């Protein structure tokens, strides 16, 4: 056994008389060449388990119980010097956020060479050669150029690949990957996971994968350890757990994920939040959120129940009846009925947002970044149009351009047949109450020094200044109640809330002015799947209640299929395909759309990864002809110099189809060209 964790507890001193029991007695084993997934919501103790293995816990932390054996050696028995020799050499870790893990003051090459010189005592000249080989191995294009770049010059996917290269520099026997794809697009995620899988097959290393994405678990893991409240709720092989989920938490976690099929019911949610590590009671820690709770659940923790083989669970339901916990029979509410209209609320015509690039002493304009490049789009009243694409495609810029938040936007944006691009000054300020935005980061978008009452009511000060204090307070309380929050939180601050609660506050702030149109910019990308389900259900209910119109920006295709009526696929500033949601998912016509769909980890079938080649090119210097051709599977398989290949590199493809369903691709099925 390569790694064996026995009864590990990691506690922290959290103030006078307070102990945070982040990890509270967990055990698991990991064999060489295998992948074990630690699964659970934020706050369940997954990352602290990884830090405990690396012996990197904070100074106020300690281990009251437990042993960690690596290759038969107890890591708690090593002195700091011995542990330092093991860390990065035999055990390596990929951290969750690559931007904060890479030193911004050092070039990529220097950071790659450091573990080689530190652990393997490689000479300077040889370490640079080895660093170039590592960059090439992890798929970084032009490694000779990139090796001298600083981290800020790389995309998110490249930074994550550099982190993988650093962790693999000394060919470790154990790789700990802490949410390695959380901040990445679905295509880059497929590249990173495919790379990890290939390297595991080549080197025989073991992987401890920390994630809450069940699709990734299905594709990568051999064994699963479901964690809740610092303890193991269920443990077993991937097949055992996916075929027979016995713990109610595992069942609810799985059922809260939007599937890649259209659903006519609201998502199954887990009520409440993971309890704080300082507030664990004596009984089952999931009891307050479990629909199958019994009196005994509050009194004491269940013993470990063995199902078959190494499949085990910790649940009192196992003591009743057939020797396996019964599946929870839940009826999910239907999706609220909406009033859909054929007339568009928003009409976008030839919208361009080109940011000037200035150089020289006089800052002359030498070029433009074509973030949004001639887009036309209709958004019907009461409908949800999803905007999908990788980071750098211009999705957020398009949303901000529609709302007139970008001064460089040019073109026409009609709101109920009024061209809002002509509005300036006070007229634009007064119009903003009809259109609002919910930002991607629920913490970064809320002012940390303002109370919730001031944050939510800020728009009222601008647009309804004549309201009395009582009327204002009533409006704020009413909108908080509508998004599922109590008015008792009014005097609290953003840092006192979970990610899901902060996103509800951001939605309340947008709703208080009773807008007709909302831009939702990746509103659930920073949330756990269980909290994501709550927020998506809330957005569906609010849309039905207020006939809201949504522009839903996302790269999560399962969420898009659940939320959207129409999907627009965006690539490098342009829409390359648009269709009703079912038509697009059942019959994607553009190779980019097909690549996006093939990159989504499947919850049902284990299939090989089909990663898309390369990264999104710079909008400052887009490729000639079809912007997608350097990454397009059809073009790359076409004989160079052929008529089709020349077509792809020679001219940008025209739109083919109708106003509501079209594709821009030289290889798409023949159809009538769109009439502008």
Q: Residue 19: pLDDT band by 50, 70, 90 thresholds?
A: very high
215, exposed or middle or buried, with CB in 10 Å at 0-12, 13-18, 19+?
buried
The reported pLDDT for the residue numbered 669 is: 61
Domain 3-90+170-319: which CATH class? Answer: alpha beta
Residue 120 class from Cβ within 10 Å (0-12 exposed, 13-18 middle, 19+ buried)? Answer: middle
Rg (CA), the chain: 26
| 297-324 pLDDT per residue, tens | 999 999 999 998 899 999 999 887 544 4
Task: Output the pLDDT for position 409.
Answer: 92
C-beta atoms surrounding 556 within 10 Å: 20
Is pLDDT of 671 > 50? no
More confident residue, 224 or 362: 224
Angstrom CA distances, 422 to 405, 414, 415, 417, 430, stand at 13, 10, 12, 12, 13
pLDDT at 183: 65
276-304 in b/e form (b: 16+ CB < 10 A) is ebeebeebbbbbebbebbeeebeeebbee
**C-beta of residue 43 within 8 angstroms of C-beta of residue 274:** yes
Domain residue spans in the chain? 3-90+170-319, 100-169, 344-584
Listed range (161-170, 226-235, 569-578) with the worst mean pLDDT: 161-170
Question: What is the pTM for the complete model shown?
Answer: 0.87
Average pLDDT of the residues in 494-515: 88
Q: Distance between CA atoms of 525 and 559, rounded to whole angstroms?
A: 10
Measured distance CA(447)–CA(238) in Å, rounded? 43
Mean pLDDT of the chain: 88
| pLDDT of 330 above 80 | no
- Given a contact cutoff of 8 angstroms between Cβ atoms, the answer to whether 520 and 552 are in contact is yes
CATH number for the region 344-584 comes to: 3.40.50.300
List, in sequence order, every beta strand (DSSP E) within 479-583: 517-521, 549-554, 566-571, 574-580
Listed range (78-82, 524-528, 581-585) with the worst mean pLDDT = 524-528
- pLDDT surpasses 50 at 610: yes
Give per-residue pLDDT as tens, 99-131: 677 888 999 999 999 888 888 888 888 899 999
Per-residue pLDDT, 84: 87
Q: What whole-number distance in Å separates Cα of residue 94 and Cα of residue 140?
A: 17
Amino acid 99: pLDDT: 64
Contact between residue 384 and residue 543 where contact means Cβ atoms under 8 Å apart: yes
Domains 3-90+170-319 and 344-584 are alike in CATH topology? yes
Q: What is the DSSP string of 374-441?
A: EEEEEEETT-EEEEE--TTSSHHHHHHHHTT--TTEEEEEEETTEEGGG--HHHHHHHGGGEEEE-S-
* Mean pLDDT to the nearest integer, 51-56: 94
> In 3-state terms, what secondary structure has residue 190?
helix
- pLDDT bracket for residue 442 (50, 70, 90): confident
pLDDT of residue 675: 40
Per-residue model confidence as pLDDT tens digits over 337-395: 887 778 899 999 999 999 999 998 888 989 889 999 999 999 999 999 999 998 888 99
pLDDT for res 322? 44
**Structure letter (DSSP) for residue 487:** G
Per-residue pLDDT, 321: 54
Question: Which range (32-46, 136-150, 223-237, 413-427) has the least confidence?
Answer: 136-150
**Is the model more confident about 157 or about 247?**
247
Residue found by looking up tokens 């909302």 in the block: 518
Residue 328 pLDDT more than 70?
no
């Amino acid at each position: 056994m390569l790694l064996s964790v026995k009864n590990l507890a990691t506690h922290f001193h959290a103030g006078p008389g307070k102990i945070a029991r982040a990890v509270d007695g967990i055990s698991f084993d990991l064999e060489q060449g295998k992948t074990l997934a630690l699964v659970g919501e934020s706050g369940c103790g997954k990352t602290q388990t990884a830090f405990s293995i690396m012996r990197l816990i904070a100074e106020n932390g300690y281990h009251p119980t437990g042993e960690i054996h690596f290759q038969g050696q107890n890591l708690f028995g090593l002195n700091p010097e011995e542990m330092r020799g093991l860390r990065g050499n035999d055990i390596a870790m990929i951290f969750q956020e690559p931007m904060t893990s890479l030193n911004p003051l050092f070039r990529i090459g220097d950071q790659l060479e450091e573990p080689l010189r530190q652990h393997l005592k490689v000479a300077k000249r040889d370490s640079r050669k080895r660093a170039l080989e590592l960059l090439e191995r992890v798929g970084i294009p032009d490694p000779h150029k990139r090796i001298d770049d600083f981290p800020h010059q790389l995309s998110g996917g490249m930074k994550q690949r550099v982190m993988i290269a650093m962790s693999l520099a000394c060919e470790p026997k154990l790789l700990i990957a802490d949410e390695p794809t959380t901040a990445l697009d679905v295509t880059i995620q497929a590249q990173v996971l495919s790379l990890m899988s290939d390297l595991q097959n080549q080197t025989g290393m073991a992987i401890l994968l920390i994630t809450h994405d069940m699709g990734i678990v299905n594709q990568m893991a051999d064994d699963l350890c479901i964690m809740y409240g610092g303890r193991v709720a269920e443990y077993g092989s991937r097949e055992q757990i996916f075929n027979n989920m016995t713990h109610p938490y595992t069942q609810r976690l799985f059922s809260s994920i939007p599937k890649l099929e259209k659903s006519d019911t609201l998502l199954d949610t887990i009520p409440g939040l993971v309890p704080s590590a300082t507030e664990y009671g004596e009984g089952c820690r999931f009891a307050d959120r479990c629909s199958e709770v019994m009196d005994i659940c509050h009194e004491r923790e269940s013993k470990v129940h063995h199902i078959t083989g190494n499949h085990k669970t910790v649940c009192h339901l196992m003591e009743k009846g057939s020797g396996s916990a019964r599946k929870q029979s839940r009826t999910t509410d239907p999706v609220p009925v909406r009033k859909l209209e054929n007339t568009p609320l928003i009409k976008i015509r030839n919208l361009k947002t080109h940011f000037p690039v200035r150089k020289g002493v006089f800052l002359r304009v030498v070029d433009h970044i074509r973030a949004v490049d001639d887009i036309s789009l209709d958004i019907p009243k009461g409908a949800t149009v999803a905007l999908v694409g990788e980071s750098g495609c211009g999705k957020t810029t398009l949303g901000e351009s529609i709302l007139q938040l970008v001064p460089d936007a040019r073109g026409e944006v009609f709101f109920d047949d009024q061209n809002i691009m002509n509005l300036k000054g006070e007229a634009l300020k007064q119009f903003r109450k009809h259109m609002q935005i919910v930002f991607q980061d629920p913490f970064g978008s809320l002012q940390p020094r303002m109370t919730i009452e001031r944050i939510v009511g800020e728009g009222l000060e601008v647009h309804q200044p004549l309201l009395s204090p009582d009327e204002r307070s009533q409006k704020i309380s009413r909108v908080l109640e509508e998004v599922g929050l109590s008015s008792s939180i009014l005097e609290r601050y953003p840092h006192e809330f979970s990610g899901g609660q902060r996103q509800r506050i951001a939605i309340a702030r947008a709703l208080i002015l009773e807008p007709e149109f909302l831009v939702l910019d990746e509103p659930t990308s920073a949330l756990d799947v269980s909290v994501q389900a709550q927020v998506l259900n809330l957005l569906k209910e609010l849309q039905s209640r207020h006939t809201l119109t949504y522009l839903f920006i996302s790269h999560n295709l399962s969420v898009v299929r659940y939320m959207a009526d129409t999907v627009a696929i965006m690539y490098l500033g342009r829409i390359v395909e648009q269709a009703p949601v079912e038509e697009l998912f059942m019959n994607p016509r553009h190779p980019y759309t097909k690549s996006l769909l093939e990159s989504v980890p499947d919850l049902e079938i284990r299939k090989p990864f089909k990663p898309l080649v390369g990264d999104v090119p710079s909008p400052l210097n887009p490729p000639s002809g079809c912007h997608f051709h350097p990454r397009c599977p059809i073009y790359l398989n076409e004989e160079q110099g052929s008529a089709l290949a020349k077509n792809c590199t020679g001219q940008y493809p025209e739109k083919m189809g109708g106003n509501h369903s079209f594709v821009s691709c030289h290889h798409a099925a023949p159809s009538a060209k769109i009439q502008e």
